[in-house]
């Protein structure tokens, strides 16, 4: 039978998904997928936090709860508590009622709603993202109709921040352009500016009237501490200027599949905030009507119960510390093997990932010979390693570096 879709060509392959499928279809019993950014326990399993289990038990036992639609902007209490988590208890922007927060579908959904809003209401179409950045950023913003450009960020020579290049590129951006800044634990490089550098970035952003859009997908995963990881964002909010923040609970509460996050827009006045909110709701309604209830209820339960909140922060610190141990073990394992090169960046880098410096040929070799899957840009999820698999990865890297130089 004729198909209405017969003229459709296959979509170009997404690099992260290509690796995911290759790993899924590999029958090897020792295969290890380190491509995606999801945390694994020492046993190599996805981890459901105890605080989340407790919250879900409590919700299941509460017979007064129903499954009615949430309002377009989501669960009001969730929005309030999420804004507090990133902006802090004492945020004057919150006290002055110039902060709008709406519940969205995790970090991606928050970025997308923000992008649609900006495409419609920001005069300047240019949006700058770091080079490199999370692969979905350019898609999200260009599909919303914006013009994506890159600012220098990573210097492969130093495996650190190209701070001078970053400031130059931000300084040369058109006034009113949007600049996407990853709040902490930069994906994919694992390289974050210092607080002193953030202050200089803030000065350039403000003096050029750029509009910062923070991607806050990893709060708590950089330092293990929610407050420390919020410092960069708060620096910008505390100067009284405007910004957007896309917040995700996928990583820090392990709620990946619940798709729970929030978009916050900090405005200069209550009046502006009111208008902004009314327009945000117009973005949401034709897109998905209203957000889902379960993840928002879990997060709210944890954030408002001091006992569960404390449990959560301990577990979060535990995850961050385990990642640090894996970094240390991997670095030691490479040293023990005498692997050529300097691997200290594995310890210096921050967050879930290490940007190893391996090239695509080496990554493909490792997948073929060692059944370990990582992204073609050399990004490896340290959060997916365990003490048992560190030596497997070290063997693979050693072989790739010595045989595929």
**Shortest Cβ 89–ligand PGU spacing (Å):** 24
Task: Kindly compute the dihedral angle of the four CA atoms of residues 24, 29, 32, 38, in this order, to the nearest 10 degrees.
Answer: 70
Paired strand residues for 180: 213
Exposure on the CB side of residue 13, measured as CA atoms within 13 A? 9
With CB under 6 A as the contact rule, the residue among 15, 16, 163, 369 that binds ligand PGU is: 16
Among this protein's residues, is 215 annotated catalytic? yes
**Shortest Cβ 92–ligand PGU spacing (Å):** 27
Q: Which is nearer to ligand PGU, 134 or 370 (CB)?
A: 134
Q: Which is nearer to ligand PGU, 201 or 263 (CB)?
A: 263
With CB under 6 A as the contact rule, the residue among 88, 107, 212, 295 that binds ligand PGU is: 107
Q: Which is nearer to ligand PGU, 177 or 250 (CB)?
A: 250
Among this protein's residues, is 134 annotated catalytic? yes
Q: Segment near ligand PGU (CB under 6 A), from 65-73, 81-89, 102-110, 223-231?
A: 102-110
Q: Segment near ligand PGU (CB under 6 A), from 100-108, 195-203, 277-285, 307-315?
A: 100-108
Q: How many residues bind ligand PGU (CB under 6 A)?
A: 16
Per DSSP, the residues of 334-365 read HHHHT-SS--THHHH--SSEEE----HHHHHH
Q: Segment near ligand PGU (CB under 6 A), from 104-112, 233-241, 317-325, 356-364?
A: 104-112
**Which of 134, 198, 312, 343 is an active site residue?**
134
**Shortest Cβ 144–ligand PGU spacing (Å):** 15
Residue 147 to residue 296: CA distance in whole angstroms: 32
Q: Is 18 in the site for ligand PGU (CB under 6 A)?
A: no
Give the closest residue to 267 by CA, choosing from 123, 93, 15, 52.
93
Residue 351 to residue 334: CA distance in whole angstroms: 20
**Shortest Cβ 134–ligand PGU spacing (Å):** 4
Among this protein's residues, is 2 annotated catalytic? no
**Shortest Cβ 306–ligand PGU spacing (Å):** 25
**Which of 73, 162, 169, 215 is an active site residue?**
215
**Shortest Cβ 182–ligand PGU spacing (Å):** 6
Q: What does each C-alpha distance from 81 to 2, 59, 85, 302, 309 come to in angstroms?
A: 53, 18, 6, 10, 12
Per DSSP, the residues of 248-280 read E-TTTS--GGG-EEEEEEE-SSHHHHHHHHHHH
**Which of 251, 311, 343, 395 is an active site residue?**
251
Backbone angles phi, psi at 250, to 5 degrees: -60, -50
Q: Which is nearer to ligand PGU, 103 or 108 (CB)?
A: 108
Q: Which is nearer to ligand PGU, 106 or 300 (CB)?
A: 106
Site for ligand PGU in 123-182 (CB under 6 A): 134, 136, 182
Site for ligand PGU in 180-219 (CB under 6 A): 182, 187, 215, 217
Alpha helices in 193-305 (DSSP H): 195-207, 231-237, 270-288, 294-304
**Shortest Cβ 393–ligand PGU spacing (Å):** 17
With CB under 6 A as the contact rule, the residue among 23, 36, 141, 331 that binds ligand PGU is: 36
3-state helix, strand, coil in the chain (%, to 5): 45, 15, 40
Give the closest residue to 375 by CA, choosing from 4, 2, 1, 18.
18
Residue 346 to residue 357: CA distance in whole angstroms: 10
Three-state DSSP state, 125 = coil
Report the catalytic residues: 134, 215, 251
Q: Which residues bind ligand PGU (CB under 6 A)?
A: 16, 36-37, 106-108, 134, 136, 182, 187, 215, 217, 248, 250, 256, 261
């Amino acid at each position: 039978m004729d198909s209405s879709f017969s003229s459709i060509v296959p979509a170009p392959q997404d690099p992260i998904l290509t690796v995911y499928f290759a790993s899924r279809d590999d029958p090897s019993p020792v295969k290890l997928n380190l491509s995606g950014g999801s945390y694994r326990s020492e046993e190599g399993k996805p981890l459901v936090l105890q605080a989340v289990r407790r919250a879900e038990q409590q919700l299941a036992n509460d017979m007064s709860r129903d499954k009615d639609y949430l309002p377009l902007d989501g669960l009001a209490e969730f929005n309030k508590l999420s804004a507090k988590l990133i902006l802090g208890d004492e945020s004057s922007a919150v006290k002055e009622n110039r902060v709008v927060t709406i519940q969205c579908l995790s970090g991606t959904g928050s970025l997308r709603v923000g992008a649609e809003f900006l495409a419609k209401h920001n005069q300047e179409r240019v949006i700058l993202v770091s080079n490199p950045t999370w692969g979905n950023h350019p898609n999200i913003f260009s599909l919303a109709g914006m013009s994506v450009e890159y600012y220098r960020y990573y210097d492969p020579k130093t495996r650190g921040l190209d701070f001078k290049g970053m400031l130059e590129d931000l300084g040369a951006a058109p006034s009113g352009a949007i600049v996407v800044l990853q709040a902490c634990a930069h994906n994919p490089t694992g390289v974050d500016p210092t607080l002193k550098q953030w202050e200089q970035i803030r000065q350039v952003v403000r003096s050029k009237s750029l509009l910062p859009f923070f991607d806050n997908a990893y709060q708590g995963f950089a330092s293990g501490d929610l407050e420390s990881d919020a410092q960069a964002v708060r620096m910008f909010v505390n100067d009284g200027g405007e910004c957007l923040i896309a917040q995700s609970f996928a990583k820090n509460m392990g709620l990946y599949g619940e798709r729970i996050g929030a978009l916050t827009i900090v405005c200069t006045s209550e009046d502006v905030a009111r208008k902004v909110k009314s327009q945000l709701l117009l973005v949401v309604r034709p897109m998905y009507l209203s957000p889902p209830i379960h993840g928002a209820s879990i997060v709210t339960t944890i954030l408002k119960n001091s006992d569960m909140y404390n449990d959560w922060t301990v577990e979060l610190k535990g995850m961050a510390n385990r990642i640090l141990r894996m970094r240390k073990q991997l670095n030691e394992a490479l040293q023990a093997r005498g692997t050529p090169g300097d691997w200290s960046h594995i310890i210096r880098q921050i967050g879930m990932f290490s940007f190893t410096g391996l090239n695509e040929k080496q990554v493909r070799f490792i997948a073929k010979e060692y059944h370990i899957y990582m992204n073609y840009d050399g990004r490896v999820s340290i959060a997916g390693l365990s003490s048992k698999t560190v030596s497997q990865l070290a063997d693979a890297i050693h072989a790739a570096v010595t045989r595929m130089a």
